[in-house]
Every structure is written in structure tokens, then in C-alpha cells.
Amino acid sequence: MQAKNINGHLTEIRNYFKMAVSVDCVIFGFDNDQLKVLLIASDLHEFKDKWSLLGDIVHPDEELEAAAYRVLKTRTGLDHVYMEQVGTFGGVHRHPAGRVVTVAYYSLVNIEQNTLKNHRNDLHWCTVKDVTDMAFDHLEILHCCHERLKHKIIEQPVGFNLLPKKFSLRELQNLYEAILDVKLDRRNFRKKFLSMDLLVDLHEEEDDVPHRPARLYKFNFEKYDQQKKRDLGIGF
């Protein structure tokens, strides 16, 4: 009786291993005052003509974060970018090949300064608010990562990863408005950031712009690191 129970238990354990783990990467960028996401055309016939996130199955000997960085590197050529784990998605029927539980990450990429080294015709920067249909449950994952980013930029200066090193206050406000999907009061926004004394005036102005050139600034990450224990929230 005991041997039978053990054999039955072993069979049950083997059934639990009939499942795969994957990672999916929501890669955000900022261009033309719009929040963008890097998507690829799905190569599965079940999702023909639909967009998909960049992702892959996690190797048996691979850590989750390492898998996410591998996807980022091999599919785009990018590395050393901001990345954060958001959550796990494990719907039983989310993948047509079988049970696949995926761990979602989002990363922030400066589009201007990070040209895709492995660019393919089916890889595109799409405006987030225009994406309405995707393969698998990727639209849900995209929305969850966008919500996490909304909360994150209020608490920490992660949004600066999407801007060039030198930026104007107008560009900064456009970034926050694009991510939060709200219109912010210009005077209050500038007053808020300047009062934190974390922007460094570079005493330079924009070049080749169709409007009056604006002053350029950079974010003082060193000073922020020294002060973050004081709970400097960037709230509006």
C-alpha cells in the first residue's frame, strides 16, 4: 500500500512539471511626445496580424531576470536599461501550445540614444494608447505595466530614463502627461520640480527647434540618491 501511494505521488509530481515558464518584456519608449511600446508581429497562426510583446521561454538553468535581459539583448541588441518585474500571469488557456505561466517585466528605453541594433521589419514602436488588440493576454500585461509605471514616476524619477540627458522643462512635462494621460498645469509642474532642487541648469538652449529655444536641464541623480531617504515623492 505504501509503495502504491509513493508511485501515485511520483506520477502526480511528474504532471506538475508539464508546464513552462516564460518572461514577457514591455519595453517603453518616448517619442514625439507620446509613450511608445516596442512590439513584434506574432508568428503564430492563431494570432495572425496581431502584435505581441517580446518574450521567450525561461531556460531550465536560467534565472528569471537573466531571461528577461536575454530577451532584451537578443531581440533588440539593447542592454543596461532600467527594468522592473511587475507580476505573474498564469491563465490556464493563455497559450495555445499548453500551460505557460509568464512573468512580466517593463523596461524604459531612450529611443533617441538607443538605436535598435537587431532591427527587423516586424519590430515596431507603437503608441501605447493606440494598441487595442494583441496576441495571448499581452494587452492585459501591457496595461498592468503601464499602471505600474504611472505609480512609479510619482514616487521615483524613473521617467528620466526615457529622456535624453539634456532636456527642457517642456519635454519633461510632456513626458509626465504622456505617461499619466492627464493634462498638467504648466506653472505648478515647473514650480514643483524646480522646488525640489534636483534639476541642474546647464546654461544651454535647444538647437534647431521651430519655436523659441528653451533652457536645457539634466537630472541630478547623485543628489537624489543622497536625499531619497527623506521620502521625496514627485506627486501632483
pLDDT, tens digit, 9 for 90 and up, residues 33-71: 999 999 999 989 999 999 999 999 999 999 999 999 999
Strand 34-41 relative to strand 51-52, pairing: antiparallel
174 belongs to a structural domain: yes
Are residue 57 and residue 133 in the same domain, yes or no?
yes
Judge if 47 and 145 occupy the same domain. Answer: yes
CB 146 within 8 A of CB 128: yes
Q: Could you tell me if 131 and 171 lie in one domain?
A: no
| Residue 97 sits in the same domain as residue 185 | no
Instruction: Say which CATH number the domain at 82 has.
Output: 3.90.79.10
In a domain, residue 4? The reply is no
- Whether residue 32 sits in one domain with residue 135: yes
Are 66 and 182 within one domain? no
- What is the value of pTM for the model shown? 0.88
Task: Give the domain-ending residue among 130, 154, 178.
Answer: 154
236 residues of the chain, pLDDT tens digit each: 455 566 666 677 777 778 899 999 999 999 999 999 999 999 899 999 999 999 999 999 999 999 999 999 998 888 889 999 999 999 999 999 899 999 999 999 998 887 776 666 578 999 999 999 999 999 999 999 999 999 999 989 999 999 999 999 999 999 999 999 999 999 999 999 999 899 999 999 988 777 788 999 999 998 888 877 666 556 66
Through-space distance between the first and last CA atoms of the chain, rounded to whole angstroms: 67
